[in-house]
Amino acid sequence: MLHVIGLGLGDATDITVKGLEIIRMSDRVYLESYTSILSIDLKDLERFYGCSILEADRELVENNADEILPKDEKENVAFLVVGDPFGATTHSDLILRARAKNIKVKVIHNCSILTAIGCSGLQLYRFGETVSIPYWSIDWQPNSFYDKIISNRRRDLHTLCLLDIKIKEPTIESISKKKREYMPTRFMSVSEAVTQLLKIMEEKMEENKEEMVLLNKSSLAIGLARIGWDNQRIVACSLEKMASTDLGPPLHSLIIPATNLHPLESEFMSLYMYE
């Protein structure tokens, strides 16, 4: 059987009892290592779980998934995911591959950033479509996430922005080569994400003045860092101020709240206001 196990957001102790029991009886244990990170390293996980853990990078999971799947009916494989197993589409693909080979799959859920953002004080049912903000390059500067934020604002909904992570990403030049070369590891900060967003807003507002009412540099933003860790941080301020706010080490997330807040949301927000 393939066991896909959510680890939660913090450290080794966030694992569920059920998940820990499965890990300790598995023949092979993999840690997916490219969509998120924990506050501790692989060695700490191995000590707590009491077993060896293999790292599963993007290339292994997306291009060589058969190496992960159980080899026969007697083998049990645990595939560990930071957050919840269904927090990233790549894990759904792994499960579908297993089912196509008639391999039994069991999923153990855990906390995800999609639910943990409730710590911001914003009501979860008022979140609209979640967006991803990618790193820009000189010749690639996508802005579709802006349109989705505006769409959510029109419906008076909050927007969770997931920020780009680059872990063992091959360089474009090396993709066609036999030997892969990798870009340096990078984690987008809230200030980097907001700087890109402000640049798009500046360009868009020249075309559509109406959108200035929906979203502008004075609009409220919430920066979240290391949610679920002992040193998590949450800051609420204008987009303009957020562009120069340092929330420290990764991981970061960004929320663009709805235009109109519920009184309880506003009261909660006052706990995080950055003057």
- Residues 137 and 129: their CA atoms lie apart, in Å, by 25
9 labeled part of a ligand binding site: yes
Tokens of 199: 């640049």
Angle at 61 between CA 59 and CA 62, to 5 degrees: 70
* CA 92 remoteness from chain centre: 15
84 labeled part of a ligand binding site: yes
112 labeled part of a ligand binding site: yes
CB 32 within 8 A of CB 89: no
252 labeled part of a ligand binding site: yes
219 labeled part of a ligand binding site: no
Burial 35-69 (b: 16+ CB within 10 A, else e): bbbbbeeeeebeeebebebbebbbebbeeebeebb
Q: Which of 256, 258, 253, 191 is nearest to 228 (CA)?
A: 253
- Residues 263 and 70: their CA atoms lie apart, in Å, by 52
Residues at the binding site for S-adenosyl-L-methionine are 9, 84, 87, 112-113, 163, 252
Residues at the binding site are 9, 84, 87, 112-113, 163, 252
